[in-house]
Amino acid sequence: MARLSGATRDHSGSWLKPGTWHLRTRLVLVAMALLVAICAAVGVFSYASMDSFLTRQLDKQLSDASHRSSEFGRPPPGNPTRRPDPLEARGQRVGTLFARIENGDVSSAGFLTTDATRASLSIEDAEILLGLPRDGIPTDRTLSNGDYRLVADQTPYGDVIVSGLPLAEKQNTLTSLVWTITIVSLGGLVLIGLAGTVIIRRTMKPLEQLSEVATQVSRLPLDAGEVALAVRVPPSNARPGTEVGSVGYALNLMLDNVSNALEARQESEMKVRQFVADASHELRTPLTAIRGYTELMRMSEKFTPDGQRFLARVQSQSERMTTLVEDLLLLARLDEGQPLKLSDVDLTQLVVETVSDEKVMAPDRTWHLDVPDEPVVVHGDASQLHQVLVNLLSNARKHTGPGTTVVTGVRKSGDGSAVVTVTDDGAGIPPEFVDRVFARFARADAARAAPLPAVSGEGSADSADHISMQGTSGLGLSIVQSIIEAHGGTVEVSSQPGRTVFTVRLPAQGGAPSS
């Protein structure tokens, strides 16, 4: 099956690793290897059979030639010293060799040429003939006229008759057979390889469709939001009974189960979001009343110093609770996907104003601006983008100590998108927390999540008030991410001791989602 991973493969070395080959490639290669083995076996068997047949045929011809030579070379009656030349006998084929060995010497030896004349043997040929076994068994030797099949027979007259036939015709026949088998095998392998590739590709097509379905599902954003999991394996490839059909049927069952689980999860999330939105909306009224009555009591009633501190604590906690409720209500609205109030927003001016507000709130930090001379304009919701800047700058203010330098920059990237960065030289974010920094209610250290101490003794109210002002709900950066994603942008963070950078990227003007 096709790979689903997005990692880049090293194609230069993939052919050296059979485990990385496609299944269809391996099937074609295995089929071709089997065909090569079959062709080789057929070729070897055919060659051996033909060689044995031709050898038997040649031996019979050699036996006939030897018999004719012996009969023709017999001395005539009354003249035992006369020996006729066997090469002059009728029926001898071109290239036939004849030799008579008498008293350890070769005589009357020669080849029969194409024009029926006699050609003499060389000295080396004579030595080879003298070394032949005289048992009447044919044997192969290489002479000056080529390769020969030779036989030496002892005659009743005390001499030895050597007969031979050339092996050239047999060798030519075997060579032709080898070439024929090779050409036919190669042609057959090419045709079968092409046909096999086409057939295997068509056979593997359903598996590729299963892979495409799995790939499409892997690219769906299943982690959040409403998901329409409508991708399924076609019915033609999801019929139980075949291997591919069973896999397709099982995959469809799995997708149905996942789809039902996602729908249940979405329904549960919607109920939770609705509850949070309703609860946040309902809590705004009593919190507003608590803050109002607290301020009224501070202005109209007289309290002891401890009472004043306790009342201040009630007011600060109500303010903190109000902020938390507003954040929850904002997140609920963002989750519901409420339309943005889009307009052209000058990020440069927005950054300058927000940084100026932070300077007033935290004069013990050093605030710098890195903005261009020309305005950087985006199409977005001005109030929500202002909320993003407020949350990023307040995050830098709350989680760094006095004397920290915070640099806020705005620029336009090469693709036309707007980039806002907030950089501080504080202690940094713990490495194990960087991946969760945008999660809801995520806080990096226990100090920001510390419970309020019991109210007892002098100064306890001041301590509680300090914690309430410094503690965070863990929703600020989650709100930043939700707002930026609603605008079609991204937000990232990189941190190390002495340098933490939050980077916001917004689409070019006109690229944000429409309301």
**pLDDT tens column, 412-455:** 888 888 999 999 998 888 888 888 888 877 665 533 333 444 33
Q: Which helix (H) or strand (E) holds 39?
A: helix 23-72
Give the residue, 445 or 110, on which the prediction is more confident: 110
pLDDT at 465: 37
Q: Cα-flanking dihedrals φ and ψ of residue 161, to 5°?
A: -100, 125
In three-state secondary structure terms, 36 is: helix
What pLDDT is stored for residue 464 in this prediction?
37
Which DSSP state fits 365? S
The tens digit of pLDDT for each residue in 478-491 reads: 888 888 988 889 99
The 10s digit of each residue's pLDDT in 394-416 is 888 888 889 899 999 999 888 88
DSSP H or E run through 252 = helix 243-300
Cβ-in-10-Å burial (0-12, 13-18, 19+) of 467 comes to: middle
Residue 511 has pLDDT above 90, yes or no: no
pLDDT at residue number 468: 35
CA distance linking residue 1 with residue 248, whole number of Å? 13
Domains of the chain, by residue range, sit at 220-338, 340-440+475-515
Q: Could you tell me which residue, 513 or 111, shows the higher pLDDT?
A: 111
What are the Cα distances from residue 330, in Å, to 201, 482, 491? 54, 10, 18
The superfamily in CATH containing domain 340-440+475-515 is Histidine kinase-like ATPase, C-terminal domain (3.30.565.10)
Beta bridge partners, 407, equal 368, 423
Query: If you count them, how many residues does the chain have?
Result: 515
Q: Which residue has the tokens 């709350």?
A: 398
Cβ neighbours around 137 below 10 Å, total? 10
| Residue 324 identity (one-letter amino acid) | L
pLDDT greater than 90 at residue 325: no
119 - beta bridge partners?
111
According to the model, what pLDDT value does residue 71 have?
A: 64
* pLDDT tens-place string over residues 258-309: 888 888 877 777 777 677 677 766 777 787 888 787 888 888 888 888 888 8
Cβ neighbors of 485 (< 8 A, separation 6 or more) are none
Whether pLDDT at 457 is above 50: no
Round the average pLDDT of the chain to a whole number and report it.
79
Query: Which of 3.90.550, 1.10.287, 1.10.3470, 3.30.460 would CATH assign to domain 220-338?
Result: 1.10.287
